[in-house]
Amino acid sequence: MRPTRFYFAVFLLSFSTLLLEIVETRLLSVVSWYHLAFFVISAAMFGMTAGAVWAYLRRDRFTLESLPWDLSLFSSGFAIATALSLCIQVTLAPAMVFSVSTALVFAEMALTMAVPFFFAGVAVSLALTRSPFPVGRVYAVDLAGAASGCLGVIVLLDRVDAPSAILLSGALAAAASILFSGSADGPPHLTAGPLQKMHARPLTILLVMTTLGLVNSVTLHGIQPIVVKSTIERRDRSLAYERWNSFSRVSVHSPPPGELRPPHLWGPSSMMPADIRVESNVVTIDGQAETSMFRFDGDAAKVDFLAYDVTNLAYFIRPTGRVAVIGAVVDGQSYFAPLITNTTPSDITLEVNPGTGAARRCNCVVPKGAVRAHIGYYRLYRNSAVAAYNGAHPYTGPHADREGFAQQAAAKSGAVVLAF
């Protein structure tokens, strides 16, 4: 046997095996839940162990003369099984439902995932136990390939999606098949069996798998999961963007151009006007974790509604700088949080710190009967004040003032109760 080609083939085989295993954990984390990464590892170990035991039980079938062709055969089987396994996986619905059907779905998925690793297990076992080369050197190459495959996941998933990466791992196995057959010194040594013809066309398998992987990576409508987190995937016109990496899948769904909707905020204030409409996209991570991405054209006034979301409080306490500290004192400057109680017969509109350079017309209306309504955080001065106007005529006409409360603001929270 030709050692250089043999070692390169072992390296590629181990590389593709670990690449497949890790990408499968990423794919199943998107389709179902993160803890099922252990499910993938178990299925892979089961498949490889089954392959190694099968090779041991049929050890008389494998000889040194037939070794290059046997390795080529099972490497090609690994490549083809990888593609078929993926096609079956993406059609399954691994939802967490308390039923026998769920057990059947996951059993089918486990067996489907294990099949490619069965072929890899046979090939790796034969390479370690039947080759004429020092087993320590073969094992070192095997470990180097496996370690490189782990690093290859990071590089590959930064460029293609998980299903495409799985197809390309099959292409690498086909390349290993070509090198194994090329490591033989003599003519082909064919063995009988249903997979006999498979190793005769490893170049065809390599080209097909590479083409499928590359084409699938440039379309949003190729071989992709149908059910994600127990929900049918949306792959209509609204899917504007999708990218994978080694730890997440990020997708963006966009409404029709120009369509305006109420903003989705995590902790909206009850004072937020009901007529606010904005243009926004929905960003989804791994099929479920969602957040809104609002259009911003540079006009800060168009995103003033973010002040009504309690999760943005820190940014309004400290609008500049690289860090935000939540509390009543930031960088030596005190802040206060007016809690407004409205006992008047009508709604009131508030102005904070009137007559100062830090005056803020918060445009928030406190309805009559409101008790301790929170309207945000504001700079606290010795002469800080809050003015209340009739809600029907904001910032015009008579108004009531509350001042001289600087010493009343709570030391930790800055809260101060003001009644009108």
**pLDDT of 268-292, one tens digit each?**
888 888 888 998 999 999 888 888 8
Q: So what's the pLDDT on residue 199?
A: 57
Work out the mean pLDDT of the chain and round it to a whole number. 85
Cα–Cα distance for residue pair 334/207, rounded to 1 Å? 67
The number of CA neighbours under 13 Å toward the Cβ of 289 is: 9
Question: Which DSSP state fits 255?
Answer: P
Alpha-carbon separation of residue 56 from 51, 113, 315 (angstroms): 9, 22, 65
H or E stretch covering 242:
strand 239-244
pLDDT band at 92 (very low <50, low <70, confident <90, very high): confident
From the number of C-beta atoms within 10 Å of its C-beta (0-12, 13-18, 19+), residue 269 rates as middle
Residues written for the chain = 420
Question: Strand, helix or coil at 56?
Answer: helix
pLDDT band at 33 (very low <50, low <70, confident <90, very high): confident
Task: Put the strands of the sheet holding 249-253 in their side by side order.
Answer: 239-244, 249-253, 280-285, 289-294
Question: Strand, helix or coil at 169?
Answer: helix
Cα–Cα distance for residue pair 369/342, rounded to 1 Å? 5
pLDDT band at 392 (very low <50, low <70, confident <90, very high): low
pLDDT band at 308 (very low <50, low <70, confident <90, very high): confident
Segment 329-373, tens digit of pLDDT: 555 677 788 888 888 888 888 888 887 766 666 667 888 888 888
Mean pLDDT value across residues 27-46: 89
Q: Cα 376 from chain centroid? A: 34
Report the b/e string of 275-309 with b at 16+ CB within 10 A: eeebbbbbebebbeeeeeeeeeeeeeeeeebbbbb
Report the b/e string of 96-121 with b at 16+ CB within 10 A: eeeeeeeeebbeebeebbbbbbbbbb
Q: So what's the pLDDT on residue 329?
A: 56
Cα–Cα distance for residue pair 409/387, rounded to 1 Å? 17
Cα–Cα distance for residue pair 79/285, rounded to 1 Å? 30
What is the pTM (predicted TM-score) of this model? 0.71
Every domain of the chain and the residues it spans: 3-228, 254-308, 319-419
Segment 200-209, tens digit of pLDDT: 678 888 999 9
Fill in the amino acid letter for 374: H
Label the pairing between strands 289-294 and 280-285. antiparallel
To the question of domain 3-228 being in CATH 1.20.1260, the answer is: no
Q: Which two tokens stand for residue 412?
A: 């930790």
Q: So what's the pLDDT on residue 325?
A: 43
User: By C-alpha distance, which of 386, 309, 301 is closest to 348?
Assistant: 386
Mean pLDDT value across residues 72-80: 92
Virtual CA dihedral for 126, 129, 131, 137, nearest 10 degrees?
110
Residue 188, pLDDT > 70, answer no
What residues have CB less than 8 Å from 351, skipping those under 6 apart? 359, 360, 361, 362, 386, 387, 389, 395, 399
